[in-house]
Chain A
Amino acid sequence: MLTRSLAVAGAAVALLALSACSSSDSDGNSGRLSGTVNVFAAASLEQSFTELGASFEKAHPGTKVVFNFGGSDSLAAGINSGAPADVFAAASPKTMALVTGKGGNAGEPETFVRNQLEIATLSGNPHHIASLKDLTESGLKVVLCDEAVPCGTAAKKAFDASGLKLTPVSLEEDVKAALTKVVLKEADAAVVYQTDVRAAGDKVEGVPFPEAAGAVNDYPIALLKDTGNAKAARAFMDLVQSPDGQRVLTGAGFLAP
Chain B
Amino acid sequence: MIKGSRAPLPLLVPALIGLVFLVLPLIALLVRTPWARLPELLTGAEVWQALRLSLVCATAATAVSLVIGVPLAWLLARVEFPGRGLVRALVTLPLVLPPVVGGVALLMALGRNGVVGRYLDDWFGVTLPFTTAGVVVAEAFVAMPFLVISVEGTLRAADPRFEEAAATLGASRFTAFRRVTLPLIAPGIAAGAVLAWARALGEFGATITFAGNFPGRTQTMPLAVYLALQSDPDAAIALSLVLLTVSVAVLAGLRDRWMTAS
Contacts and interface: CB of A to CB of B under 8 A. Distances in A.
Contacts of A77: 229-230, 233
B130 interface: yes
B227 A186 contact: no
Contacts of B211: 170
A184 B105 CA distance: 12
A154 interface: no
Given A141-B130, A169-B130, A181 B212 contact: yes
Contacts of B233: 77
Residue of B112, B212, B227 most packed against chain A (CB within 10 A): B212
Nearest to B128: A186
Nearest to B104: A184
Contacts of A76: 230
A74 B232 CA distance: 11
Contact of A170 (B107, B111, B218, B231): B218
B226 to A, nearest CB: 7
Given A73-B231, A148-B231, A173-B227, A186 B107 contact: yes
Contact of B230 (A148, A185, A187): A148
Contact of B212 (A73, A149, A169): A169
B213 A173 contact: yes
Nearest to A80: B233
A162 to B, nearest CB: 21
Contacts of B229: 74, 77
A186 B130 contact: yes
B218 A185 contact: no
Nearest to B228: A148
Contacts, number: 56
Contacts of A146: 213, 227
Interface in B89-121: 107, 111-113
Interface string A148-173: 11000000000000000000111111
Contacts of B130: 141, 143, 169-170, 186-187
A171 B214 contact: yes
Nearest to A168: B214
A143 B213 CA distance: 9
A245 interface: no
A189 to B, nearest CB: 13
B111 A184 contact: yes
B113 A149 contact: no
Nearest to B113: A185
A71 interface: yes
B214 A184 contact: no
B227 A148 contact: yes
Nearest to B236: A77
Contacts of A181: 129, 212
A141 B219 CA distance: 17
A169 B213 CA distance: 8
A74 B229 CA distance: 7
Contacts of B107: 184, 186
Interface string B128-150: 01100000000000000000000
A172 B208 CA distance: 8
Contact of B113 (A172, A173, A184): A184
Given A143-B212, A146-B213, A168-B214, A173 B111 contact: no
Nearest to B209: A177
Contact of A173 (B112, B208, B215, B218): B208
B230 A186 contact: no
A76 B112 CA distance: 34
22 contacts: A73-B230, A74-B230, A77-B229, A77-B230, A77-B233, A148-B230, A169-B129, A170-B211, A170-B212, A171-B212, A171-B213, A171-B214, A171-B219, A173-B208, A177-B208, A181-B212, A184-B107, A184-B113, A185-B112, A186-B111, A186-B113, A186-B129
Interface of B: 107, 111-113, 129-130, 208, 211-215, 218-219, 226-227, 229-231, 233
Interface of A: 71, 73-74, 76-77, 141, 143, 146, 148-149, 168-173, 177, 181, 184-187
